[in-house]
Amino acid sequence: MRTFKLMGHLVVAGTLALAFGAAMAQGSAYPTKPIRIIVPYPAGGATDVAARMLVPRLQEELGQPIVVENRPGAGGNIAMNAVAQSSPDGHTLAMTLTGMLSINPVIYKKAGFAASDFVPVAQVSLAPLLLVVPENSPYKNVQELLAAGKKAGKDGLAFGSAGAGGLSHLASESINAHANGNFVHVPYKGGAPLVQALMANEVAWGLLGTGDARSFVQSGKLRAIGVLRNGRSELWPGIPTLTEQGVPGGVDFDVWFGVVAPAKTPAPVVKLLNEKIAQIVAEPGFRKRLNELGGVAPVSGNSTADFAEVLKRELAVLPKAAQAAGLQLD
């Protein structure tokens, strides 16, 4: 009888060991085929650039071809739905950015996805938003700008954004609230048109990503009077934050670009991807190239848990801001 019991224990133990070994083998085998990184915008934009910068080194690390697939349209919803509905095996990923998972499901009735449909993998680039004014603007700091907005009265001064419903718009509305909501919003179709509008004095101020603003600020064609982040940016150490200038609450966001995967992607796969991407973006060559393009590499605090905290904070702030602004794009 003891022999049979012992044999039974050995069979169970052997079965568990085989199952564990198979699971380990399955995890270690990833990736087993080419990987797609889907980008929700056309080629050439900042999100696309972040993906294409990452791909060469990530291919080397993973030993499989990686294809960047641009799927623009519907404010990014087409691409994000494609990723959400793909097999959760780590072979289809998205390169996305601030607001896509927190704002779109609120401002589009038929976005088709929620933040819970994805798992954060790793951030690739951070780019602070700058509050900029035309070169001949009389406003030298944010307090002077806000005072002018209050004095001008309702719709007395205009501000521009890179598009209705995006982060630059919602963060601008948070700033607008400090001027009693007197500024009027003028949306443009991207950062480049907003730059041209500012230089033509069509609007008094606007929020621009570093990539769009850098060369114009450096050449003196635009003036940056504030940066929207918790602390000063290594790219712009001489520009005070909005918090330093008395504009607290809800506006201290970097624009991030990062990789997400479909929900239910196996944890070992997510962990491997995170480790490889975090390693790549911390490399000196990658950091240098990002700096040249106006971005900063997240060289620390880039675990999946750190990324999840970033998304958690966004979800606590940006959907409410979108609702308060009355945004509805379909």
Full 3-state SS string of 249-305: CCCCCEEEEEEEEECCCCHHHHHHHHHHHHHHHCCHHHHHHHHHCCCECCCCCCCHH
Whether 128-228 and 28-126+255-324 are alike in CATH topology: the answer is: yes
**Given pLDDT bands bounded at 50, 70 and 90, which one contains residue 189?**
confident
The residue type found at 242 is L
- C-alpha–C-alpha distance, residues 180 and 152, integer Å: 11
Q: What is the pLDDT of residue 249?
A: 64
- Helix axis angle for 167-177 and 304-324, nearest 10°, is 60
Q: From CA 50, how far away is CA 39, in angstroms rounded?
A: 10
Apex 21 CA angle, 16 and 26, nearest 5: 130
First to last CA, the chain: 72
Say which CATH superfamily domain 28-126+255-324 falls into: Bordetella uptake gene, domain 1 (3.40.190.150)
Determine the pLDDT at residue 138: 97
Domain ranges of the chain: 28-126+255-324, 128-228
Distance CA 78, CA 93 (A): 14
Mind listing the pLDDT tens digit for each residue in 230-267? 788 888 999 999 989 988 766 677 889 999 999 999 99
Predicted pLDDT of residue 8: 42
Does the structure show a pLDDT above 70 at 294? yes
Q: What are 300-321's pLDDT values in tens digits?
A: 889 999 999 999 988 988 898 8
pTM over 0.85: no
Q: List Cβ neighbours of 167 (8 Å cut-off, separation of 6 or more).
A: 98, 99, 103, 129, 253, 255, 318
Identify the architecture of domain 128-228 in CATH: 3-Layer(aba) Sandwich (3.40)
